[in-house]
Every structure is written in structure tokens, then in C-alpha cells.
Amino acid sequence: MKKALLSYVNAIGWFNERLGKGAGYVIWGLAGLMFYEAICRSAFNAPHLWLPEITQYIFWGYVFLGGGYVFLHEGHIRMDALYSRWSPRRRAIVDVATFSVAAFYLGGLLWKFSYYTAISIMAGERQACGIHTYVGPIKAIMVLGIILVLLEAVAFFIKDVHLAISGKVLE
């Protein structure tokens, strides 16, 4: 049992680590495209119709696929006035206690996002302006990002439960 849980925690962590490291590079693509557009548009008066949509998709892929990585590295701010003074075990106990609230939000996000993504794909929803790209793929990527954050949150929950019960870090 313990072994299975540990391999789950490690596997999710491994995947999010790789994906996040990869997603980090995307910022250069975004800045590069916008820089190129700045020159084309203001110097040569030749803006690109596809650019707003594509850069927007890149940005939201960046934000959603980076979600699990940032979660893994504790990048999300906490109000740590009290939290930072507690022992690791006490932190784990409190995090376990508040997990239901967190899970409710992430679960709700996953449910509604996947529902409307499915509708979007089935209906063949397209952007209303620009080059009318299909919206389905980027919405699916967002769902994937939410799933990864949820899986990472569960991995943290497992680690916290273990620490809370046994007083030892899961390893």
C-alpha cells in the first residue's frame, strides 16, 4: 500500500516537473512572436491576423500546463503568518483538514471545464474573430492542466496524511 502510494506521488511529481520545465521555455516563444509583431505592425504596417489568437493560446497553455509544476514547488502563495511558525507535522495536519475545500474547488473546475470543453468540441466552436480557429483543443489543454493540478494536490494530500499519522516524511 505504502509503496503504491509512494510511486503515485513520485510519478505525478516526475511528470509535472518535466512538463513544467518544458512549459517554462514557452515564454520566449510568446515574447518572440509579440516582438516580431511589434516590428511588423509599427514599422511595416503589416500586422498578422492569426497572431492574437495564437499568442493567447500559447499563454493559456503556459499558465495551465505550468499549474502542476508550480503546485509541486509550492509556488502558490499561502498566508503564512501562523503557518510558517508551525512544525511540519502540524502544517500537514492543518492541510489535511482544509483539503476538502481545496478539492471542492478543483473538482468543480474539472467538472465544469470538461463539460463545456466536450460541448465545444462536439459543436465545433470557433473563435468569433481573427482566423476562426477551433477553440476545442485549447480548452482540452486547460482540462489537462486542471487534471494535473488535481493529481498533484492529491499527491500532497497523501504526503500530508502520512506525515500527520506517522510523524515521518513519506519516502
Q: Which residues here bind another protein, judged by CB under 8 A?
A: 20, 23-25, 27-28, 30-35, 37-38, 41-42, 52, 55-56, 59-60, 62-63, 66-67, 69-71, 73, 75-84, 86, 91, 94-95, 97-98, 101-102, 104-106, 108-109, 111-113, 115-116, 153
Question: What is the closest distance, in whole angstroms, from the C-beta atom of residue 126 to another protein in the complex?
Answer: 14
CA distance 142 to 140: 5
CA distance 24 to 117: 25
CA distance 30 to 166: 46
Based on CB atoms, which residue is closest to another protein, 29 or 167?
A: 29
Based on CB atoms, which residue is closest to another protein, 108 or 167?
A: 108
Question: What is the closest distance, in whole angstroms, from the C-beta atom of residue 47 to another protein in the complex?
Answer: 10
Q: Please, are residues 169 and 159 in contact by the beta-carbon 8 Å criterion?
A: yes
How many Cβ atoms sit within 10 Å of the Cβ of residue 153? 19
DSSP structural state of residue 76: S
Based on CB atoms, which residue is closest to another protein, 5 or 102?
A: 102
Question: What is the closest distance, in whole angstroms, from the C-beta atom of residue 3 to another protein in the complex?
Answer: 28
**20, 91, 116, 160 from 111: Cα distances, Å:** 23, 29, 9, 25
Question: What is the closest distance, in whole angstroms, from the C-beta atom of residue 2 to another protein in the complex?
Answer: 26
Based on CB atoms, which residue is closest to another protein, 7 or 49?
A: 49
Cell of 171: 519516502
Question: What is the closest distance, in whole angstroms, from the C-beta atom of residue 136 to another protein in the complex?
Answer: 13
Sign of CA dihedral 162, 167, 168, 169: positive
Based on CB atoms, which residue is closest to another protein, 4 or 81?
A: 81
